[in-house]
Amino acid sequence: MDITLKPPNSLSRPLFVPKKLLMGPGPTNSSPRVLKAMGLPILGHMHEECINVMDEIKEGLQFVFQTKNPVTLAISSSGHGGMEAAMCNLIEPGDTVLIAVNGIWGERASDIAHRYGAKVEILKKSPGKTFTVDELEKSIIKYKPILFFLTQGESSTGVYQALDGFGEICRRNNCLFVVDTVASLGAVPVFTDLWKIDIVYSGSQKVLGAPPGLAPISFSSQALNKVYARKSPISVFYWDITKLGNYWGCFGEARMYHHTISCSLLYGLREGLAELVEEGLPNSWKRHKDCANRLYEGINKIGLKLYVENENCRLPTVTTIRSPPEINTKHVSKYAMERYNVEISGGLGPSAGLVMRIGLMGYNANFSNVDTVLDVLQEAMEYAKHNKSKL
């Protein structure tokens, strides 16, 4: 048997990875400590030292999520895998679910829930707006859903959703409360137990400062009870929480092989969590808030307007700026990237074409970066205004 297809030339070139300042909605830059950890030697997925790192991550996540849930772990998927895991473990075909939609994440949650066979009811708000406990209560009484999905940090619109009070209503109505904190965890308070959240998940590549590839998640005992009471098998083996929980040592049984976890991603997340724990949660919350305020001030000085009008609903990690009509913001992003290797993003989903997005998360959330991105933004806007034909 002969090789018929020839080797590609592209792989004989050296790998090219430039250093950029990632001031978009994530991933964010990782710290030197995290990047150094990524290059450590490979460990087997059942080796004692790998298990120890998993245990340390579990403790770190229980702290960051502020939960005592034994079933707290990181899923071997991007952040969106946390959404899949929540849905595929809880939903049985025919179950009614209620999804709060005010941006792309609610839309995606609806899509996913539909694929797992749910009857999907929508609690809808315009992009940029938030939900109230009263609105939830009316809908929950009307639809009697088995789960309610809410996004704390709507990174497509820059909206921060307050969470307190929703869990009470859900628990009173026998509905599980699922919260997406991909873009918010570590930058704003998340009190999983206090707020009666049944499944909370996040992503490794935002405030936690690790590379993408892992989705931290936590299941309450109420969520697990729904899983244990299923009549049909959990839809997806890869995210089966009964198997994942065993592998992560959450049930006090002997650990069984489930999948080959990526030790390298574990190293990065472990170091990112260690840095966050070292700083302390209140300090991190304050740092993100201070940076966001400095950014708002600078944006105001440049003469731009924030997309989210109510300042209590602004997500400190992702700031959305209304695109001025006279400027093509794609040109702004292009100039910032080509001239300075600085990422300034456009909108996503419902905010596409309407906003520019600036991210401040984890390692990147400091005053120096705020000032840099403001300088670059101002210069890029000037350039985009006066050199339309050149771009």
- Touching a copy of itself, residues 129-188 (CB under 8 A): none
Nearer to a copy of itself, 154 or 271 (CB): 271
333: three-class secondary structure by DSSP: helix
CA dist., res. 58 & res. 216, Å (int): 9
- State yes or no: residue 271 binds a copy of itself (CB under 8 A): yes
- Residue 20 in tokens: 């950029």
- State yes or no: residue 353 binds a copy of itself (CB under 8 A): no
CA dist., res. 222 & res. 177, Å (int): 10
- State yes or no: residue 94 binds a copy of itself (CB under 8 A): no
Cis (ω within 30 of 0) for the bond into 27? yes
Pick the stretch among 256-264, 298-306, 314-322, 367-375 that binds a copy of itself (CB under 8 A): 256-264
- State yes or no: residue 24 binds a copy of itself (CB under 8 A): yes
Tell me if 287 is assigned to a ligand binding site.
no
Nearer to a copy of itself, 41 or 303 (CB): 41
CB under 8 A, 24+ apart: contacts of 65-69:
65/185, 65/190, 65/192, 65/200, 65/216, 65/218, 66/189, 66/190, 66/191, 66/192, 66/193, 66/194, 67/192, 67/193, 67/200, 67/218, 67/220, 68/193, 69/192, 69/193, 69/218, 69/219, 69/220, 69/221
- State yes or no: residue 42 binds a copy of itself (CB under 8 A): yes
Contacts of 386 (CB under 8 A, 6+ apart): none
- State yes or no: residue 238 binds a copy of itself (CB under 8 A): yes
- State yes or no: residue 281 binds a copy of itself (CB under 8 A): yes
Pick the stretch among 1-9, 95-103, 144-152, 366-374 that binds a copy of itself (CB under 8 A): 1-9
Pick the stretch among 61-69, 290-298, 305-313, 315-323 that binds a copy of itself (CB under 8 A): 61-69
Give the closest residue to 248 by CA, choosing from 214, 283, 225, 286: 214
- State yes or no: residue 254 binds a copy of itself (CB under 8 A): no
- Residue 343 in tokens: 């990422």
Least CB distance to a copy of itself at residue 301 (A): 27
Pick the stretch among 119-127, 273-281, 308-316, 374-382 that binds a copy of itself (CB under 8 A): 273-281
- Residue 243 in tokens: 């198997």
- From the list 274, 290, 328, 340, which residue makes contact with a copy of itself (rule: CB under 8 A)? 274
- State yes or no: residue 106 binds a copy of itself (CB under 8 A): no
- Residue 4 in tokens: 């018929």
- State yes or no: residue 265 binds a copy of itself (CB under 8 A): yes
- Binding-site residue ranges for substrate: 357
